């Protein structure tokens, strides 16, 4: 039998990783390239071509491509994404106050129209005229639409009618809430749909870039994408439901961690450029978040690993509070472009500016900071106001010092909005730069890192003293802060998994004494009950110290730098479908789910119809998601309390799960 070669790709905020994998031999080759946000195919090509060059394998020999990404997660953490219009069918404006929907909506437009259904699927008439009246003005201000109908999980017909109307009149992407979740809870379902709509263009660009590269190299193989629960989905499905790729990268890292270490029980911490993701492996499986994934402060209805994502990574902003007698260093949550990377890309321009700033008699407010366009197409700048357009026009593809760009205080808020839209990068000193100063990393420009450290070191504290004497002292302080904040977020995650409420490691005096090994009559100590698996390109740099601080054994696999890409190719397709049965009146049973509604007069007939429908829908969905000969497992949940000696059906749920390995191209 011919060996099947699988290609795993992980597109992160800073790096794109690629691995060539064989189920018989494991990882055959691996490579990295910088993620190129202006054209994602460039970074993908750089990583994949390097892998193929190492092995001299023909691209046509690849039988499956699988992709994981942190782009959606990063976008939500950083408040980025396209502008979306939210259509609420049958809801009231006060519903925006629930589940953080108003905060998630921000300044994006929302339209309320009459319609929707009740719990049994019976409708209130849909006011399509109100949609027609508002749509022309709305369509000119957004890049996509989100549609949420009252009880649409029981009857999605109004969402479907609104979707078709929007597509016909605006030709913009539309996401319906019933496509994303079968759970009740309209406002949170609307929030999930809104976030999905914002991510459509981003994930579409990523998949298109990967498909374009595959076509150019002659790779004729199915393409999969990792979901937030670690399962695989077909690329076409990911285009429709990009929200399911939030925590895709972290979920892939968990699957990869289990494969690479062989550990059944571990705490897994994956550090990237933007985030640190922490999760727990129990008995070889990741714990799942039953309530839905929380990303960027919003709880969604996306089933995902119980992963906690923190705005802490190698490219985190170094923030210095020098107002007290002793300066305080904090990291994140915002990602900056490291100075060492900026100089690596733009050379002498960056070095010259940093050198002039360091030689100036007086420090500038924005020393060591630059603005540069991310390179997104001009279409992504649609909807900018006059102030944003003016400032954006001044920023080019070459780095511009912030001191030259920002001449008035309000411009800072304008710049922040451009960053939030993903149009502009801010560059500055980061932990990655500190590691370059200390000689622990060296892939980019060390000179720029050292100059940036010197600029920060001369900031004066409340006593009027420089916060550091030498650049190395400043870098060590940043490294120490990274270790401590990493310990804090890992402990916070583990305490939450243990069900220990109200303990914030960053604020707890007892935990602080344990972590700094403070002397005293009472000595505090703490430890994890399982190894700490450190993943990410910089894991060997950071995690030995972090594990030591937590009293844990450090497990850093040799392929820690590409664990996400490994996880992308060793996973399975897994899809669940839920069909509901309710009894609105005596002798009538209503079956809803999977976009279909049926009625039966007998409970046993209704249950059997639900079983058949759930299993058929799960099998079809698994096949649509790329599974090869899926196996279907059915779980039944009957809520029927006994009333006056007879069981009274409240609701029955038939949950079918189809799973299997993805289809590979036949060589």
Q: How far apart are the first and last CA of the chain?
A: 10
Q: Do residues 308 and 489 make contact, with C-beta atoms less than 8 angstroms apart? A: yes
The CA-atom distances, in angstroms, between 549 and each of 418, 488, 546 are: 38, 10, 5
pLDDT given for residue 72 in this prediction: 77
User: What interhelical angle do 446-457 and 339-346 show, nearest 10?
Assistant: 140
Half-sphere exposure of 561 (CA within 13 A, CB side): 17
* Assigned token pair, 442: 């060296």
Secondary structure class of 589 (helix, strand, coil): strand
User: For the chain, which domains are there?
Assistant: 84-199 (3.40.50), 316-478 (no CATH), 573-660 (no CATH)
* Assigned token pair, 543: 């995690």
pLDDT given for residue 1 in this prediction: 44
Q: Which of 666, 631, 591, 535 is nearest to 68 (CA)?
A: 535
pLDDT given for residue 16 in this prediction: 87
Question: For the chain, percent helix, then strand, then coil, each to nearest 5?
Answer: 40, 25, 35
The string of pLDDT tens digits covering residues 369-381 is 999 998 877 777 8
pLDDT given for residue 664 in this prediction: 65
* Assigned token pair, 555: 């497990």
The torsion angles phi and psi of 446, rounded to 5 degrees, stand at -70, -35
pLDDT given for residue 666 in this prediction: 43
Mean pLDDT by groups of 10 residues along the chain of 667 residues:
80 85 88 80 88 87 87 73 88 89 87 87 88 90 90 87 92 86 83 85 84 89 87 87 80 88 93 88 81 76 81 93 86 93 93 95 91 84 88 93 92 92 92 96 94 94 88 95 95 90 88 88 91 92 94 93 88 87 89 82 94 93 86 92 84 91 63
The CA-atom distances, in angstroms, between 649 and each of 578, 640, 644 are: 17, 4, 13
Max Cα-Cα span within the chain? 89
The string of pLDDT tens digits covering residues 583-628 is 888 889 999 886 678 899 999 999 999 999 999 999 998 998 888 8
């Amino acid at each position: 039998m011919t060996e099947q070669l699988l290609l795993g790709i992980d597109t992160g905020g800073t790096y794109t990783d690629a691995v060539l994998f064989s189920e018989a031999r494991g990882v055959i080759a691996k490579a990295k390239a910088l993620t190129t946000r202006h054209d994602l195919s460039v970074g993908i090509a750089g990583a994949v071509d390097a892998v193929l060059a190492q092995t001299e394998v023909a691209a046509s020999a690849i039988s499956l491509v699988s992709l994981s990404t942190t782009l959606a997660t990063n976008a939500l953490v950083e408040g980025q994404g396209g502008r979306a219009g939210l259509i609420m069918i049958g809801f009231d404006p006060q519903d925006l106050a629930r589940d953080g929907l108003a905060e998630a909506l921000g300044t994006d437009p929302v339209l309320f129209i009459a319609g929707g259904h009740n719990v049994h699927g019976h409708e209130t008439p849909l006011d399509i005229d109100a949609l027609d009246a508002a749509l022309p003005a709305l369509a000119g201000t957004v890049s996509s639409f989100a549609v949420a109908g009252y009880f649409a999980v029981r009857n999605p017909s109004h969402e479907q009618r609104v979707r078709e109307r929007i597509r016909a009149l605006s030709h913009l992407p539309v996401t319906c809430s019933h496509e994303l979740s079968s759970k009740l809870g309209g406002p949170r379902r609307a929030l999930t749909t809104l976030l999905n709509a914002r991510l459509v263009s981003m994930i579409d660009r990523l998949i298109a870039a990967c498909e374009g590269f595959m076509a150019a190299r002659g790779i004729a193989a199915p393409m999969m994408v990792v979901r937030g629960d670690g399962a695989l989905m077909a690329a076409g499905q990911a285009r429709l439901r990009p929200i399911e790729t939030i925590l895709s990268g972290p979920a892939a890292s968990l699957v990869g961690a289990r494969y690479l270490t062989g550990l059944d029980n571990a705490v897994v911490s994956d550090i990237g450029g933007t985030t640190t993701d922490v999760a727990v492996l129990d008995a070889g499986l990741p714990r799942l978040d039953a309530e839905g994934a929380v990303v960027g402060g919003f709880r969604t209805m996306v089933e995902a690993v119980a992963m906690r994502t923190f705005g802490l990574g190698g490219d985190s902003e170094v923030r210095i509070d020098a107002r007290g007698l002793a300066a305080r260093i904090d990291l994140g949550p915002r990602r900056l472009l490291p100075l060492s990377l900026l100089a690596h890309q733009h050379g002498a321009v960056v070095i010259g500016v940093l050198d002039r700033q360091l030689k100036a008699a007086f420090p500038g407010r924005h020393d060591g900071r630059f603005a540069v366009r991310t390179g997104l197409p001009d279409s992504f700048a649609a909807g900018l106001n006059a102030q944003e357009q003016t400032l954006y026009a001044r920023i080019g593809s070459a780095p511009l010092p912030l001191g030259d760009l920002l001449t008035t205080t309000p411009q800072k808020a304008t710049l922040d909005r451009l960053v939030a839209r993903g149009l502009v990068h801010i560059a500055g000193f980061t932990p990655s730069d500190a590691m370059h100063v200390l000689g622990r990393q060296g892939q980019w420009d060390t000179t720029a890192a050292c100059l940036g450290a010197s600029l920060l070191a001369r900031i004066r504290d409340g006593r009027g003293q420089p916060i550091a004497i030498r650049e190395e002292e400043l870098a060590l302080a940043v490294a120490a802060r990274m270790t401590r904040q990493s310990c804090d977020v890992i402990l916070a995650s583990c305490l939450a998994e243990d069900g220990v409420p109200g303990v914030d490691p960053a604020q707890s005096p007892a935990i602080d004494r344990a972590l700094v090994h403070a002397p005293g009559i009472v000595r505090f100590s703490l430890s994890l009950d399982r190894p700490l698996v450190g993943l990410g390109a910089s894991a060997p740099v950071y995690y030995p110290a972090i594990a030591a601080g937590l009293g844990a054994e450090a497990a850093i696999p040799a392929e820690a730098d590409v664990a996400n890409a490994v996880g992308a190719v060793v996973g399975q397709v897994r899809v669940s479908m839920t069909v509901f049965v309710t009894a609105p009146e005596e002798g009538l049973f209503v079956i809803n789910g999977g976009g279909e509604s049926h009625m039966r007069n007998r409970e046993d007939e209704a249950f059997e119809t639900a079983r058949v429908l759930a299993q058929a829908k799960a099998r079809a969905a698994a096949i649509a998601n790329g599974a090869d000969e899926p196996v279907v497992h059915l779980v039944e949940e009957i809520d029927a309390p006994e009333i006056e000696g007879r069981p009274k059906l409240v609701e029955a749920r038939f949950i079918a799960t189809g799973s299997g390995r993805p289809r590979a191209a036949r060589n």
